[in-house]
């Protein structure tokens, strides 16, 4: 056996010791159980309780693990709850305002001098608008001529 083969076998053994089954607890290795219950997620520094959040929980050490899709869903739900609590426009309402004026996400971002992907994150529930931006969006919705005004002042 060459030295190279030996080291490769050694590497393979080390890796196999480090590979976990999909449902194994990363902390203790016990098989985790799928659960649906409330989880707490911070949004803008505020603790948001999301009921019925899918996740894996270790019956032994209580470790909680989120699958990629579950984590995305939890984030979207937390932001929706945060918006409702602070009386901010929902993702659907923001989209409706933009569509009403036949603007693309890039158009509206440019008029409000926001980053190009900001509208996509608001409308996709991945991020939440500030209270100041919320007021501006309501002005656009409720004040005729506001989009024209923004256009004449667009950078
Ligand atoms: Zn565990």
CATH of 32-87, one of 3.30.420.40, 3.10.20.860, 3.40.50.850, 2.30.42.10: 3.10.20.860
| Residues paired with 43 in a beta bridge | 46
User: pTM to 2 decimals?
Assistant: 0.79
Instruction: Report CA dihedral (96, 100, 106, 111) to the nearest 10 degrees.
Output: -110
For the chain, give every domain's residue range: 32-87, 91-153
pLDDT given for residue 132 in this prediction? 96
Tens-place pLDDT, residues 29-54 = 999 999 999 999 999 999 999 999 99
Residue 21's pLDDT is 78
Both tokens of 43, joined, read 């949004």
Average pLDDT value over all residues in the chain: 91
Indicate the CATH number for domain 91-153.
1.10.260.40
Ligand 1 centroid–CA 44 distance in Å is 30
What is the CA(67)–ligand 1 centre distance, in A? 16
* Block residue for tokens 């008029």: 111
- Rounded Cα gap, residues 155 and 137, in angstroms: 18
Ligand 1 centre distance from Cα of residue 63 (Å): 5
Task: Band the pLDDT of 1: cuts 50, 70, 90.
Answer: low
Cα–Cα distance between 105 and 118 in angstroms, integer? 8
Distance, CA of 128 to CA of 96 (rounded, Å): 16
> If you average pLDDT over residues 87-102, what whole number do you get?
97
């Amino acid at each position: 056996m060459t030295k190279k083969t030996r080291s490769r076998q050694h590497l393979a053994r080390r890796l196999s010791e480090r590979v976990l089954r999909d449902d194994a607890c990363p902390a203790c290795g016990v098989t985790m159980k799928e659960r649906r219950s409330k989880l707490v997620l911070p949004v803008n520094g505020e603790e948001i309780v999301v009921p019925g959040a899918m996740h894996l929980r270790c019956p032994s050490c209580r470790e909680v693990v989120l699958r990629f899709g579950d984590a995305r869903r939890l984030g979207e739900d937390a932001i929706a709850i945060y918006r409702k609590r602070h009386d901010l426009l929902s993702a659907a309402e923001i989209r409706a305002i933009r569509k009403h004026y036949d603007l693309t996400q890039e158009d509206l971002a440019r008029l409000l001098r926001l980053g190009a992907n900001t509208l996509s994150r608001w409308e996709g529930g991945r991020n939440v608008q500030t209270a100041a931006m919320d007021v501006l969006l309501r002005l656009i919705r409720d004040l005729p001529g506001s989009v024209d005004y923004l256009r004449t002042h667009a950078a």
